[in-house]
Homo-oligomer: A and B are copies of this chain.
Amino acid sequence: MVLAIAESERVRGTTSPNPPVGCVILDSAGRAVGFGGTQPVGGSHAEVMALKEAGTKAQGGTAVVTLEPCAHYGRTPPCTEALREAGIKHVIHAVSDPNPSAAGGARILEEAGITVESGLLRQEVSRGPLRAWLHYARTGRPHVTWKYAASLDGRIAARDGTSRWISSETSRKEVHDLRAKLDAIIVGTNTVRADDPALTARDAGGMPLARQPLPVVVGMSDLPAGAKLRRTALHLRTHDPDEVLAALADRGVVDVLLEGGATVAGAFLRAGRIDRVLAYVAPALLGDGPAAVLDAGVSTITDAVRLTVEDVTMSGPDLRISAVPQT
């Protein structure tokens, strides 16, 4: 399953609105003989890719796959069919398919005499490569990660507005790698005016990475004439997070990174439309300067937006905190 997760991560960011699934085929002796990840929309699913590589060695073997194999005719034939035809005897999957039209794969496999095990490394998969897609499958809305970088005392810039760089080079590189795995990046018009960002995913040398997310600007005001995003971005003239997410879902966007600023972050928080907070906290104190979020709709302490910390790691000298809203 660890290898299947790696396949899943490899294709992440290239499959939306389909899930980035990973699959490994083991032959009857338990040797890994085929690897596959979901191909871009219209292409083969992970199981079919892995079976292709395995060829006849799949006969009597096991398919290890991050998501329950699909049972429906969509753009491609059902994977349950492909697994059966290849002579697979066992299927082990991490996560069941929450999608009513595709679900039921496990039952169909079992009816074909294939043993099915579910739940292996479920949490790793459901919090990892399939997190955004599972959210999308359950709610119909893209999954929103709000990312910000701030000092230990919660400032995203100094008194004079300078912010380059609060966070370390390591953290900034991590964010560029993350951007390349997502479908869209949202900023507000204030951020465009203040920072004129390109919102591209770049490597350490500043060169654009192969895969680029859709840049999205949210807000009523026009973008400045020379703004980098004026030519590249989708500009959504609304302040309503649900309108933004609906427009993105229509474009096949599943996994969204919200990069600010404080006003847009506040609007998404008030609407309950932030599914994960990713905070890069630099061990520095500023004592003045703008905050990461404005007006989260909280006026007294008992109304605080409470989160649960999922994970804390060091990113160079910075803390990288991943937290999700309490439900």
Show the binding face of A for B, using Cβ within 8 Å: 150-155, 157-160, 162-166, 266, 269, 277, 279, 281-288, 291-309, 312, 314, 317, 319, 321, 323
Contact = CB atoms under 8 A, between A and B. Distances in A.
B292 A288 contact: no
Contacts of A286: 296, 298, 301, 304-305
18 contacts: A151-B304, A154-B154, A154-B292, A157-B301, A162-B302, A166-B304, A284-B304, A284-B305, A285-B305, A285-B307, A286-B304, A286-B305, A287-B291, A287-B293, A287-B297, A287-B305, A288-B295, A319-B319
B283 A165 contact: no
Max count, chain B CB within 10 A of own CB: residue among A152, A153, A305: A153
Q: How many copies does the complex hold?
A: 2
Given A154-B150, A317-B309, A319-B312, A296 B304 contact: no
B300 A293 contact: no
Max count, chain B CB within 10 A of own CB: residue among A152, A266, A305: A152
A294 B287 contact: yes
B160 A300 contact: yes
A310 B36 CA distance: 42
A147 to B, nearest CB: 13
Given A298-B158, A319-B321, A285 B312 contact: no
Contacts of A287: 266, 269, 291, 293-298, 305
A162 B301 contact: yes
A292 to B, nearest CB: 5
Nearest to A279: B152
A296 B289 CA distance: 11
